[in-house]
Each structure stands twice: as structure tokens, then as C-alpha cells.
Amino acid sequence: MIDPRTGAPTDGGLRTATVWAPTCVEANTYSTAALVWGRSAAARLGLAGVAARLVDDEGVVRPVGPWPGEERAA
């Protein structure tokens, strides 16, 4: 994923971002933005009312909104 602000690969501390949204376009937009936002993604997605599953570089899972919780990614 390329960060449009820098033109370099994202390095925000997130390994994956999975988002549920009413449309595929919206889900893709939010999941891409989450990778660019990095560690601030949970707060931003929460403010937007989006359900998501974020996994950081250490494999720690952080559910956002009504997404079911987990302790660690496999």
C-alpha cells in the first residue's frame, strides 16, 4: 500500500485492516484509509461509525465498533 502523502509504502503499524460497510466501495475505501492512517485508524473509524478488525505489526487484534473481538491474530 502506498501512502499518497509521501509516495512511499505505508508504515503506520498496521498489518491488516478489514472493514464491514454497506457497499464494497465504502469498505475498500475505509480499509485502505486505515492502512494509511496507521495507529490512529481505530479512533477515526470509530468516529465514522465503521465496524472493523485491525491487526497491528505484532499480531494484536483490535476490533472497532460492533466487530467481534479476538486476542491475537493467527
Weakly modelled stretches of the chain, pLDDT under 50 = none
- The contacts of residue 14 (CB under 8 Å, 6+ apart) are 34, 35, 38, 39, 41, 54, 55, 56, 57
Domains of the chain by residue range = 1-74
Q: What is the pLDDT of residue 41?
A: 97
Which pTM value belongs to this model?
Answer: 0.84
Q: Which residues contact 19 (CB under 8 A, 6 or more apart)?
A: 26, 27, 28, 30, 31, 34, 45, 50, 51, 52
pLDDT at 73: 55
Express each pLDDT in 41-59 by its tens digit. Answer: 999 999 999 999 999 999 9
